[in-house]
């Protein structure tokens, strides 16, 4: 059965290669703004991931498993998405400085043949060191904060900001591998 990843993220594509030799990439044009946050972060990230997966499910041939994923940074009841500009990135990184935040990923798998649906949410706690203004500005100038939830990528130069994590590292990168592996097995994909 074909595996289809509903994501343009090079990080997710790279991580999925660790589990599946051959898969297709279809970029979802699901409008993430159409899903309003109602206070339940687990449900929210799963709704976003499912929206992406269903968007692709409508475009693909039968007999495939579509994987949708969405990752957000959550701090003090507020979702930190992808920064819209450098000022936004600066404010996000400043708010993360010295604090513990949570990274949530919603993971949804849909079997196009059977309509079987798996929805899972994964949470990882991340503690940042205290960041100086120069550290934040230098990171923003590197361009590595662009397109990343919370304005950072744990796998790039922001790795030095992280004092510790509690949970799945790959969840913070953007694709919780263990959860995905177990979900694929649950759908009958033998790895």
Domains and CATH numbers, the chain: 2-186 (3.90.950.10)
Among all residues, which ones are annotated catalytic?
Answer: 70
Predicted pLDDT of residue 191: 54
HSE of 179, CA atoms in CB hemisphere, 13 A: 25
User: Count of alpha carbons within 13 Å of 107, Cβ hemisphere only?
Assistant: 24
Tokens 């703004």 found at: 33
- 33 secondary structure, DSSP code: G
**Residue 41 has what pLDDT?**
96
Q: Which run of H or E residues covers position 120?
A: strand 117-128
Q: What pLDDT, on a 0 to 100 scale, did the predictor assign at position 60?
A: 84
Q: Give the chain's length.
A: 191
- Closest to 140 in 3D by CA, of 97, 173, 92, 100: 92
d(CA 33, CA 50): 14
Identify the segments of the chain with pLDDT beneath 70: 191
pLDDT reported for residue 62: 73
Sign of CA dihedral 45, 46, 51, 55: positive
Distance spanning both ends of the chain, measured CA to CA: 13
């Amino acid at each position: 059965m074909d595996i289809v990843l509903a994501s343009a993220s090079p990080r997710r594509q790279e991580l999925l290669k660790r589990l599946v030799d051959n898969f297709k990439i279809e970029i979802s044009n699901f409008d993430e703004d159409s899903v309003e946050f109602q206070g339940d972060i687990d449900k929210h990230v799963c709704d976003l991931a499912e929206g992406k997966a269903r968007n692709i499910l409508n475009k693909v041939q039968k007999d495939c498993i579509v994987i949708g994923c969405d990752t957000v940074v959550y701090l003090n009841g507020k979702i930190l998405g992808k920064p819209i500009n450098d000022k936004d990135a600066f404010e996000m990184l400043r708010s993360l400085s010295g604090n513990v935040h949570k990274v949530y990923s919603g993971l949804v798998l849909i079997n196009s043949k059977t309509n079987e649906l798996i929805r899972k949410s994964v949470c990882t706690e991340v503690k940042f060191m205290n960041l100086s203004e120069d550290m934040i500005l230098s990171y923003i100038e590197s361009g590595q904060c662009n397109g990343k939830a919370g304005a950072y990528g744990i796998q790039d130069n922001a790795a030095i900001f992280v004092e510790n994590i509690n949970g799945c590292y790959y969840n913070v990168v953007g694709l919780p591998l263990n959860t995905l592996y177990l979900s694929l097995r649950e759908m009958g994909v033998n790895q």
